Amino acid sequence: MTALDAQTDSISITDDDAPAERQGSTPIERPKRATPLQVFREMPIVIKLSTIWLLLVFGGAIYAKIDTVLLNDALPLQNPNLQTNNFNPATGEFGDGEPNESWSSAHWLGTDTIARDTFARIVHGAWVSLIIAMVSAGFGVVVGGFFGSLVGFVRGRTETVTMAAMDVILAFPALILLLAMVSIFEVRSLTVIALVIGFLSIPAYTRVARAGSLAVSQREFVLAARAIGTKPMKILFREVIPNVLPTVLSYAMVAGAFVIVVEGSLSFLGLSVQLPTATWGNMINQARGNLKVNFAQVFWPSMALVLTVLSLNSVGDWLQKRAAHRGSAL
């Protein structure tokens, strides 16, 4: 009995039955959600530059699209398909450009083999990369993210079958499968290319989401949700998916970069969006035979590609670390 007494002693250190936490009258400080500007401020310099570059690419692509589609070339950016040395019947003069021109105030990055403005083509080419990256990320996050979370949560036969199907898609060399699928369609429009690439990026997202879902489904709050009688589908959408989403989204950045490279390869091979639509890949391809004469025609689109991929990767990595850091604090 003495042991018991000592024991109860050790527990009842405080015997005030009432007030819970050290409540007091101090107002509860609520950490506000960081504004985009605050997030930007706390970025390391490399990430800052990457973000700026990505915003430029994004803005440039939108600007170019608005210019051609809505405003009929009214904005100060040249038509990417205009041969600047062409005779203009209205004015009776030739254009201001020459083929393979070096940089000048009229053509900032010079002109290509048929006197089109390189800068304008790069800006317009950004649109293709942007759409490809976004559509593939959209497909991946929505379809791959959902199926991955689902099978990681329900397990069993659904998981085996889904993952086997994904493995089959993954087992094909991506580029070759892409070539096969693209060749099915007669018209290689941006929509077709984006959809095909989007479809092919689903398996990778499914795997990422499944891995996250497997871990989250084992967490106690999922069991707690079951213990109060929550429906499985509701658990999936309320408990599992919101916790898997940050991982999937930061993967989307990195996967987006990969997809841009894939589209670049495809258009370098002349199998992406049909000419004369400007893409970074086909610009490199067209100037490739001409490397000695005008190195800049290959250099600039390559730089655009490299910088974009690099930025996406580093910003993606940074976001991932940030999410992981916040996750560990929970």
Task: Give the residues lining the site for another protein (CB under 8 A).
Answer: 1, 3-4, 6-14, 17-21, 23, 28, 30-31, 156, 219-221, 223-231, 234, 238-239, 242-243, 327, 329-330
Q: What burial letters (b/e) apply to 317-326, b meaning 16+ CB within 10 Å?
A: ebbbebeeee
Of the pair 134, 245, the CB lying nearest another protein is at: 245
Min CB(251)–another protein separation in Å: 17
Q: How far apart are CA 57 and CA 36, in angstroms?
A: 18
Q: Which is nearer to another protein, 248 or 273 (CB)?
A: 248
Min dist. Cβ of residue 6 to another protein (A): 4
Minimum CB separation of residue 10 from another protein in Å reads 5
Query: Residue 195's CB: how many other CB atoms inside 10 A?
Result: 16
C-beta separation of 249 from 134 below 8 A: no
- Mind giving me the DSSP string for 211-250? HHHHHHHTSHHHHHHHHTT--HHHHIIIIIHHHHHHHHHH
| Residue placing its CB nearer to another protein in the complex, 249 or 310 | 249
Q: What is the DSSP letter of 74?
A: -
Residue whose C-alpha is closest to residue 125's, from 300, 310, 254: 300
* Residue 36 or 229 with smaller CB distance to another protein: 229
For another protein, which is the closer residue by CB, 4 or 171?
4
Rounded to a whole number of angstroms, the minimum distance from the CB of residue 229 to another protein is 4
Q: What is the dihedral of CA 169, 172, 174, 177, to 10 degrees?
A: -90
226 versus 288: smaller Cβ distance to another protein? 226
CB of 106 to another protein, least distance (A): 53
Residue 9 Cβ vs another protein, minimum distance, rounded to whole Å? 5
For residue 93, give the 3-state DSSP assignment. Answer: strand
